[in-house]
Structure formats: structure tokens, C-alpha cells
Chains A and B, each alone.
Chain A
Amino acid sequence: MNIRKLRSAALAFSAAGVALSLAACGSAGPAGSNVSSDSATMWGLTGGNQPVLQKSVESWNQANADKSIKLDFFANDAYKTKVRTAVGAGEGPTFIYGWGGGVLKSYVDAGQVADLSDFVAQNPNVKDRYLPSVLKNGVVDGKTYALPNNNVQPVVLYYNKEVFDKVGAQAPKTWDELMALVPKFKEAGIAPFSLGGQSKWPDLMWLEYLVERIGGPEVFANIAANKPDAWSDPAVAQSLTKIQELVDAGGFINGFSSVAADSNADQALLYTGKAAMVLQGGWIYQGMKKDAADFVKGGKLGYATFPTVSGGKGDPANVVGNPSNFWSISAKATDAQKKAALDYVKDGMFTDGDTQALIDSGAVPVINGIDSKLAASPDKDFLTFVYGMAKNAPSFTLSWDQALSPAQGDAMLSNLDQIFLKKISPEQFVATMNATIGK
């Protein structure tokens, strides 16, 4: 009898083991098994800048065999999960790719990234190459923990000129014009806006810009500073209401909540003419240049700044998005790895070849003295537009999901998704988010 009981319990246990293997899952281990323990490791992102980074590291490795870097690439969403787990488990790469903001701060608080202040002080040429407004995003509590590594990425309103010509429309300059365009495009059987809603972060671009236009940069600055009830600023609820009005009007493409931005489906909707506009990061220009070369070269891609909102307090020249991506150096790396990494940052990054490759890919490097190079590029219209946007912006707010702590950022994206699906009201959003302040 006892044995019987034991057996059925064991069987139940092993069946539950299936569920258990999930519960116990953890880090996926180090990147690649053929890395010698003394060579520096780097994790990059797939997408527009992948070939540029790949080339930069390859030529560095050729010239500096003794300080070689092992490079691996990951998709955006997967990378964000993987790197944090890996760093927490002491298995992170030497070069930690990031966005600055609250996520960088959480690494700093945990003592996981090296203080680069001395390095920057000793190498003024490193500091001097960057646009100062971008450099400051790698600074936490007066110390430099991250240095910019690629291009400036403001959020831009892209539109399909062909489709606009077909219905005889102009790019919207105000929110009212934008709302007036919605029925026009719907009548023509074209979705007004494409949106990668399944990825959730594209939803956020709408909230970021609306809050910026209505309330100015202080609204989010207060939220990021963890001031109590900072989400209660009326600009937040007003922006959420505007978003829901746009959803109600049918502003977003059918099934937007199952469109994934990581697979570039949202931009595909724009260049195939199924959608007229998309609000997305500066980086999708690189993707479209590659995936829809004729569309971009043929001058069918339009771009504009986000419309103004009447009565709004924000300066129309203000920008949201990612000032750049950054390299941090792991505090847990060996001395040899750190030295190789810092030498690469000093001499291997933003070489003439790197800078030109970035520009050729359709991106604006975050460094000084590139005006003539931009002007010589076949993409000069877009590049000078983006460069001007970033350079002339009185305020450049970092993407909120990166600026906030991971716990707050995740709660914000989940609740904003609920706003777009109309499952919660703006008031519920504000109340839920106020409860996350300080977490």
C-alpha cells in the first residue's frame, strides 16, 4: 500500500516536472563555447546597425589579434531579457549594449558596470568626438558609465507619399489635421496608421509625443524623478484620451495588436501602401532602405515631425526617442578584457570607415564634424532632417521604457497596451501607474 502511494506520488511528481522545468529556467549560459576566457565579448543587436558593427569589430580584430573581441548578435526583445539575466548571473558580456536611463542606473546600483569617468578624463579626444547632449545620457550621478556607440534615433512620423498623393492629402501639422486625415484614408481603403502593437513599445511612442506636446518635457521628468503622483499630471490623461479617440476612429490598421515590430511588419505595411503613416524610430529608415530600396530611392517615403496639439505647452521642436545606444563595460570583466574593451572604444570606434558605414546605412552618427559627409550621402535629405531634429531640439526625452526602472517600464507597457485595446480608462492607467512610483 505504501509503495503504491509512493508510486502514484512519484508519477505525479514527474508529470509536474514538466511544469517545473519552466519554473527553474534561468540564464542561457555564456555566448559561444569557443571563446577563450581572456578575449573580450560583445553582444550586439540585429537590425540596421548589425553589418556596421560587424565590420567595425572585424577590422579591429584583424589589426589587434592580441585584443580581439568575440561578437554575437541578438534580436532586440530577446536581447533585453537575456542580457539582464546574464549580467545578474555573472555571465554577461564585456561590452554591455544599452540605452542609458533607468536600466543603466539599475546596473550602476548593482555595481555591474565600470565607472569610465577616469578613462574619459584621460582621453579627451574620446569625449570631444561626441555631441554633448548625447553624451550626458551615459552619466549617472555625475559619473560616466556608458559611451554612445552608434546613431541618433529620434521618433519620426513616416508617411507614404504615393498614398498621400492618391487621396490628395498633406502630412499633418496639427493633431486636428491628423484626425481629419483618418476618415479620408479609410474611405480610400487604406489604414491611416500602421502600428506594431504586439511589441508594445511602438504604442509608447504615441504617449511620449502626446505628453511632450501637451505638457512639455517636465511631465515625464517628474515621473522619471519618482515624484509622488507624477502620473496624475492632466497631460497624461489627456494624451491617453486622444489615443483612445484615434483608436475609436479606426486610426490604426486592423489587427494592430498582432503586428510585431521586431519582424518589421509595421514598416512593411507602410511601404506596401496598406497603411499611410507610421510613427516609429529613426532606425526603421535603415530597414526600409534595405527591404524596400525602390520605395526609399524613388522618393516615395515622406517624413515629418510629430504634429502639434493646440493649446499644448511643449515646444514643437522637442523630440523623443533614443539619443543613441551605448557601450558600458562590465565591472566583472577581467583586466585584460577591460583593457581590450577600452582600447576598442578609444581607437576602434567611430573610425572614418565606421562613420561612413553608418551614414551609408542611412543613420546619423552621434559625433561632431559630419556635416560634409551627410551632405555627400545619397540619403542626405533624411539624414540632415534627423541631424537637425536632434541638434536643434531644446529637449530630447529618452524613450520612457528605458528611462524608467525595468519594473515600472514593464507595468507601463502592459497598461498602455490595455489603453490601446480600450480595456481600461485613462483614469485607471494613471492610478495603476502612480502605484508603481519608486518601484
Chain B
Amino acid sequence: MTSLSSPARRVRDAGPSGWLAAPALVFFLLFAVIPLLGVVFLSFTSWDGLREIKLDGLSSWATVLTDPVTGNALLVTAKIMFFSFIVQAPVSLLLGVFTAGGQKYRAALAVLYFLPLLLSSAAVAIAFKALLDPNFGLGPGFHLPLLTQDWLGNSDLVLFVVVFVIAWQFVPFHTLIYQGGVRQIPASLYEAAEIDGAGRFRQFWNITLPQLKYTMITSSTLMVVGSLAYFDLIFVLTGGGPGYSTRLLPLHMYLTGFKANDMGAASALGVILIVIGLGLALLLQRLGGKNRNASQLEGA
């Protein structure tokens, strides 16, 4: 038994030659790992960007870790991550399943849903900033009191506005991922379920969802880790304000580095950001389960 199966298993586990990863790895080393080491080094210095870089021990770390704005930035980041996931995941899953259908009108709608993905974050932010302006925006323009809120100036409201705009921009991308995932599911599974008398809901619950497990992990990883990198959109839309209401970690890092010119503290924040990003990505991979290398299509 062992003598027969083990060579076959080994080939499958090892996958294609590791050399295929070499070009990407070199690129990654040059443009990610080396700068990363630079950032770690800078976090132990004090540097205003102009003068000599001075080794300064843990003082940048002390500044960053005792600054209440850092704690607030972490909280804002966590909130945006959580709410973005809660909003985007179900919407893009349902939209993905919907647009995976073969009907012509669905294909047409899929193209429309896809449009926001073609716009740059800065353009999206400028457009929404104009639409949501409390004095010249959509609400005051059409005299709609309900829409005439201080969307971007109210500390309690602004976080949800940001989550909405992020969702508007990124739901199409995740919809596309889910659409692809759904189309991979063999039709034979649904045919068999139909013969067994399963309705649409049961088909969705018992076939579509489990079959999409890995699509979900991919999409969720991108959503969660991606929300650590939201910067351009929020920078243009609110600049982190009002106050510190939308100053999430990457923005806090940028403003510390390039507005306050404290590169040491900004580098320490960068290291925190990377550690959190790595941790979350690893965690999500774990959630995939022990047998994640097994085929999704087994039994199909």
C-alpha cells in the first residue's frame, strides 16, 4: 500500500518546480524585503528627512506606543476593516452568484457593476467629496433634506460614509472573484440536487456556499489585508478628519512621516502595520483548514 501510493503523493504535495517562483521572489526581495529591513532600521533612529540619520534606540517606539493617536488609529483601522468586511462580503457574494447566471440581462448588469473598478481611487474620492458636500453637494443641490447631512464633517457619521465609498469601489472586484468561483462549480452537482428535490435555497446553501469556500478565503484575505492599505481614497476624501475620526494606521503613518517629518516614528508605525498584515494573512490561511490542499472538486 505505502510503496504504491507514496511517490504519487509526494509529487502532488511538492507541486510544480520551485524555480517557477524565482523571478517573483527576486522582485519581492528587491522591492519588499530590503525596503522592509530599511524601515525596521529607521524605526530605531530619529530622522526628519533632511538632516543626518541618528541612531536613537527605542525613542521612536516609545513615542509611537505612548501616543494616544496611535491607539485611535488602530481602533479606526479595526472598525473600517470590520465594517468593510461585513458590508462587502455578503453583497459581493450574492452579486457574484447572481451575475454568474447565463442570462443576457445578467451579463449586461455585470458590466455595469464592473464600472467602479475602472476608476482610480483618487477620482472616486473627489467625486464623492463633491457629491457629499454639505453646501454644494447632491442634497442641497436637489433640496433633499435627507441627503443634506454633514457626511464628511460629522465625527460619528464619517466612518460609515468611508465604509460605503470603499464598498462602492471594491464590491465589483470581489463580485468578479465570486462570479468566477461560481462558474467553476460543476453543473452536475446542481443537476443531482435537483433530482433529489432540493430547492434553490438548499442548492445555494448546500452546494454553492461550500464549493465557494476557497473563493471566500481568497476574497476575505484580500478584503481584510486590503483594508490595512486603504490610503489614497481616505486621504483625498477626508484627509483623516474630522479630527482623528478617519485617521487609520496607513494614513497616520504617512502624516507622521511626511507632514510632521518624523521618519523614525513613521517607520515604527510601518513595522506595526506589516506585523498586523502578516498576522491576519496567516490567520486567514489557517482558517482554510488542515486539508486545504485537497481538491474542491472531489466527488464531482
B residues near A347, Cβ cutoff 8 Å? none
- Determine if B274 is an interface residue (Cβ-Cβ < 8 Å): yes
Given A255-B153, A407-B262, residue A8 in contact with residue B135 (CB < 8 A): no
- Asked if residues A255 and B135 are in contact (CB atoms below 8 Å), the reply is yes
Given A8-B285, A85-B258, A18 and B225 touching (CB < 8 A)? yes
A399-421 CB mask vs B (1 if < 8 Å, else 0) is 00000001100110010011001
Q: For residue B273, which residues in chain A have a CB less than 8 angstroms away from its CB?
A: 19, 22-23
Chain B residues with Cβ below 8 Å from A255 are 133-135, 150-154
User: Does any Cβ of B come within 8 Å of A334's Cβ?
Assistant: no
Indicate if the CB atoms of B274 and A19 lie closer than 8 Å: yes
Complex Cα spacing A257 to B260, Å = 20
- CB-CB < 8 A to A259: which residues of B? 133, 135, 153
Q: Are A85 and B28 in contact (CB under 8 A)?
A: no
Q: Which listed residue (A12, A24, A407, A423) contacts B260, Cβ 8 A?
A: A407
The reply on A107 being an interface residue by CB < 8 A is yes
Cα separation A328 to B274 with both chains bound (whole Å): 39
A263 to chain B, nearest CB (A): 9
From 213 to 262 in chain A, residues with beta carbon under 8 angstroms from any chain B beta carbon are 253-260
Q: Which residue of A lies closest to B36 (CB)?
A: A20
Whether the pair A197, B35 counts as a contact (CB closer than 8 A) is no
Whether B151 and A258, one on each chain, are in contact in the complex, defined by CB atoms closer than 8 angstroms, is yes
Given A4-B293, A15-B222, A81-B258, answer yes or no on A417-B32 (Cβ-Cβ < 8 Å).
no
Contacts of B172 in A (CB 8 A): none
Are B261 and A406 neighbours in the complex by a CB distance under 8 Å?
A: yes
- How far is it, in angstroms, between the C-alpha of A198 and the C-alpha of B285 when the chains are bound? 40
A80-118: CB near B (< 8 Å → 1, else 0) gives: 010011011000000000000000001101101000000
Fill in one digit per residue for B281-299: 1 if any A CB lies within 8 Å of its CB, else 0.
1100100000001000000
- Is residue B101 within 8 Å, beta carbon to beta carbon, of the partner chain? no
Q: Is A16 an interface residue (CB 8 A)?
A: yes
Q: Which residues of A contact B50 (CB under 8 A)?
A: 84, 87-88, 106-107, 109-110, 112
User: Does A197 contact B51, Cβ atoms closer than 8 Å?
Assistant: no
Residues of B within 8 A of A87 (CB): 50
CB-defined contacts of A410 to chain B, threshold 8 Å: 255, 259-261
Taking a contact as CB atoms under 8 Å apart, the answer to whether A18 and B229 are in contact is yes
In the bound assembly, the distance between CA atoms of A85 and B259 in angstroms comes to 10
Chain A positions within 8 Å of B38 at CB level:
24
A11 at the interface (CB under 8 A from B): yes
Whether A268 sits at the interface, judged by CB under 8 Å, is yes
In contact, B225 and A258 (Cβ under 8 angstroms): no
**Bound: A410/B252 CA distance, A:** 12
Chain B, residues 178-190, CB within 8 Å of chain A (1/0): the string is 0000000000000
Decide: A81 and B274 in contact? CB cutoff 8 A: no
Check A258 against B150 for contact (C-beta < 8 Å): yes
Q: Which listed residue, B18, B229, B238, B281, touches A12 by the CB 8 Å rule?
A: B281
Q: Is B210 part of the contact surface with A, judged by Cβ < 8 Å?
A: no
Separation in Å of the B135 CB from the closest CB of chain A? 6
B270 within 8 A of A: yes
Complex CA–CA separation, A110 to B136 (angstroms): 45
A20 touches B35 (CB 8 A): yes
Which A residues are CB-close (under 8 A) to B134?
254-255, 258
CB distance from A249 to the nearest CB of B (A): 17
Given A16-B281, A107-B50, A23:B39 Cβ within 8 A: yes
Q: Is the CB of B36 within 8 A of A411?
A: no
The answer to the question of B208 belonging to the interface, with a C-beta cut-off of 8 Å to chain A, is no
Q: How far does the Cβ of A120 sit from chain B's closest Cβ, in whole Å?
A: 24
Say yes or no: B258 contacts A11, CB within 8 Å: no
Could you tell me the distance between the alpha carbons of A4 and B129 in the complex, rounded to whole angstroms? 46
Which residue of chain A lies nearest to B49 when distances are taken between CB atoms in the complex?
A88
- Smallest Cβ distance from A391 to chain B, in angstroms? 34
Pairwise interchain contact A253-B135, C-beta atoms closer than 8 A? yes
Complex contact B153–A23 (CB within 8 A): no
CB distance from A16 to the nearest CB of B (A): 4
Quick one: CB contact mask for A16-32 with B, threshold 8 Å, 1 for yes? Answer: 11111111100000000
Distance in Å: Cβ of A119 to nearest Cβ of chain B = 23
Find A22's partner among B155, B229, B281, B293 (CB 8 Å cutoff).
B229
Chain B min CB distance to A195 (Å): 11
| A8: chain B residues within 8 A (beta carbon) | 282, 285
Residues 256 to 298 of chain A near chain B (Cβ within 8 Å): 256-260, 265, 268-269, 274
Check A106–B48 contact: CB distance below 8 A: yes
Bound: A157/B138 CA distance, A: 30
A15 touches B221 (CB 8 A): yes
The reply to whether A15 and B51 form a contact with Cβ atoms under 8 Å apart is no
Q: Is B250's CB under 8 angstroms from A22's CB?
A: yes
Q: Is A14 an interface residue (CB 8 A)?
A: yes
> In the complex, what's the smallest C-beta–C-beta distance from A434 to chain B, in angstroms?
16
Report if B14 contacts A (CB, 8 A): yes
Q: Is A385 an interface residue (CB 8 A)?
A: no
List residues of chain A with CB within 8 A of the CB of B262: 407
The answer to whether A110 and B285 have CB atoms under 8 Å apart is no
Chain A residues, CB < 8 A from B226: 18
List residues 252-276 of chain B with CB under 8 A from any CB of chain A: 253-255, 258-262, 267, 270-271, 273-274
Chain B's closest residue to A253 (CB) is B135
A253 contact set on B, CB distance < 8 A: 135
Residues on A with C-beta less than 8 A from B135 are 253-255, 259, 265, 269, 274
* Contacts A3-B13, A109-B51, A258-B133 given; does A15 touch B225 at CB 8 Å: yes
Give chain A residues whose Cβ lies under 8 Å from the Cβ of B244.
Answer: 414, 418
User: Is B116 interfacial (CB-CB < 8 Å)?
Assistant: no
- The distance in angstroms between the C-alpha atoms of A18 and B243, with both chains bound, is 26
Known: A18-B229, A84-B50, A417-B241. 7 other contacts (CB 8 A): A12-B281, A18-B277, A20-B32, A23-B273, A197-B241, A253-B135, A255-B151
Counting from the closest, the 10 A-B pairs by CB-CB distance are A255-B134, A23-B270, A12-B281, A24-B35, A258-B152, A258-B153, A257-B242, A16-B277, A110-B50, A255-B153
Can you list 17 A-B pairs with a CB-CB distance of less than 8 A?
A: A3-B15, A17-B28, A22-B250, A88-B49, A107-B50, A198-B242, A254-B153, A255-B150, A257-B152, A257-B241, A259-B133, A265-B136, A269-B135, A406-B259, A411-B260, A421-B242, A421-B243
